[in-house]
Amino acid sequence: MGNNPFSAPSIEDAKLYASWGLDIGYMVNWCITPDQYKDITGKDYQAPTENE
């Protein structure tokens, strides 16, 4: 993320957040890919579904 607090998180940030037990699903298609999500979490990314 460098020194700019307003820059998008990086893959390293995603790994860190996941190591804390946080859900990083919101980062998919923003700063990581579904494949990177699977590499980090070991789970397939499931896009959120709309509530009807």
* Tens of pLDDT, residues 15-29: 999 999 998 988 898
Closest CA relative to residue 28, chosen from 16, 2, 40, 52 = 40
Task: List all residues 6 or more positions away from 47 whose beta carbon is below 8 Å from its beta carbon.
Answer: 28
pLDDT recorded at residue 1: 45
State the average pLDDT for the chain: 83
pLDDT recorded at residue 30: 82
For residues 24 and 1, the model is more confident at 24
